[in-house]
Amino acid sequence: MRIIIIGAGVIGTTTAWYLHQAGHQVHVIDRAAEPASETSFANGGLLHASHAEPWNAPGVVGQLLRWIGREESPLLLRAREIPRLTRWGLGFLRNSSRSRFERNTVVNTRLAIHSLRRLQALRRETGIRYADSQSGIIKIFRDAVSMEKALQASRLTADLGLRFSVLDPRQATALEPALADVAHELTGAIYYPDDESGDACLFTRRLAALAQQQGVEFEQGVSVERLQRDGDRLSGLITSAGPRTADLYILAAGSFSPGLARQVGLRLPIYPVKGYSHTAPVNGWRDAPTIPMIDDANKVVMSILDDRIRMAGTAEFAGFDTTLEHRRADNVFRQVLKTFPTLEDRLTPADLTPWCGLRPLTMDGPPILGPTPIRNLQLNTGAGHLGWTFACGAASLVAESVAGSEPSIPLDGLGYNRFA
């Protein structure tokens, strides 16, 4: 079967890989010059089943409203976006009840664990490397209430296979000596040994190169302008380089998926949430952490990607505005300094490379995978801040859906039909 995939980020590229491995002729179209040039370019670098809960935890909507216009806040809602957020925001609020939040946490964690296992298998099969580390992730806490909430979420998904260890400050420092400067500030930490880290952009581009060697076509620098529908099927695409046709189409265009889907009568409740990161050289930091870190209080993450430090965090509800607000990006660095204060002496402003990208967030949290009412259109979109974590698992599930085979994990809570 000839299949066109719209989008060459980590989601679209992994989907292309698994579909090609299943014997299909795959053609990927993306508007950027190279794969992984947008959302997948410089994310936090973490692959974590441990932190897969949706963003709409009970109480977060109130926090978001209190933080309107506060540039230093971890969640920033631009006032101008409130009118555009009404419908999506009501769904986000509706899904922030305790029961729905816990249900969607289970859905996300199950997919994340499955995805990490598929990534491990892919690594064994191909030998692909991408500044990756399998040293787990440590999540640190500065108050007991936040730590208990995180433990509740971890216990909720322990029977799915999520492994974790609860550490006091002394144990946390013994595991990760780089935390010594702030050990006196910590309530404790949770260590997740099965989580990983790696450069999503490097992974995507290397996997794309492997796929091309095997016959997958990547058409870069070409925009998909319109989907054409004929009854219950797509008849083709109109692109900036002319028409394109296939037997089956996969929409994996991240935050831009809803606009394309709307052309053929499908509503995808996805909102673009802007995230920020800084990348810097290690600069001979001998005592750099060896375990990627999530700082719960300051809402930032940090990982070492070979000779680079990746720091990421914050969420900004600003629509499709991709303006890099330096104050927001610099705040990520300032929050990281609260845990690793010696970094300030090691890095100059010239060492820091800021970036921002749009995370395609569904109103309930899980991504949207698989069939649609249009018989030859399937979806792999809406992964939010978990696109890197979900990539291999979601892609392999879509490949199973295309084949009509039994899914490797339950698809409850992942399909388009939950919004129909």
Residue-wise pLDDT tens digits, 316-350: 999 999 999 999 999 999 999 999 999 999 999 99
Give tens-digit pLDDT for 201-233. 999 999 999 999 999 999 999 999 999 999 999
* pLDDT for 60: 81
- Which pLDDT band, with edges at 50, 70 and 90, does 182 fall under? very high
For range 169-181, the mean pLDDT = 97
Q: pLDDT class for 420, splitting at 50, 70, 90?
A: confident
Average pLDDT on 396-419 reads 97
- The rounded distance, in Å, linking the Cα atoms of 3 and 27 is 6
Task: Assign 79 a pLDDT band (cuts: 50, 70, 90).
Answer: confident
Report whether pLDDT(67) > 80. no
What is the SS3 assignment for 147?
helix
Rounded to an integer, the average pLDDT of 230-242 is 98
Q: How confident is the model at residue 375 (pLDDT cuts 50, 70, 90)?
A: very high
Q: Which pLDDT does position 331 carry in this prediction?
A: 94
Query: What does the CA dihedral 31, 75, 196, 311 come to, rounded to 10 degrees?
Result: 80
pLDDT average, residue stretch 280-304: 94
3-state secondary structure of 370: strand
pLDDT tens, position by position, 113-131: 999 999 999 999 999 999 9
pLDDT, the chain, mean: 96
Give the separation between CA 154 and CA 163, rounded to whole angstroms: 8
Residue 270 phi, psi dihedral angles, 5° rounding: -120, 135
Confidence of residue 84 (pLDDT cuts 50, 70, 90): confident
pLDDT for the residue 146? 95
How far apart CA 83 and CA 99 sit, in angstroms, is 28
Mean pLDDT of 170-199: 98
| Average of per-residue pLDDT across 129-150 | 97
pTM: 0.97
Sign of CA dihedral 48, 380, 251, 413: negative
pLDDT at 82: 85
Joined tokens for residue 314: 């914050």
pLDDT at residue number 162? 97
Give the span between the Cα atoms of 249 and 236, in whole angstroms.
Answer: 9
Look at residue 148 in the predicted model and tell me its pLDDT: 96
Residue 368: what pLDDT? 99
In the prediction, which pLDDT does 286 show?
85
Which pLDDT score, from 0 to 100, does residue 21 have? 98
pLDDT the model gives residue 128: 99
> Span 347-355, mean pLDDT?
95
Superfamily classification of domain 2-419: FAD/NAD(P)-binding domain (3.50.50.60)
Q: How far apart are CA 96 and CA 55, in angstroms?
A: 9
Confidence (pLDDT) at 188: 98
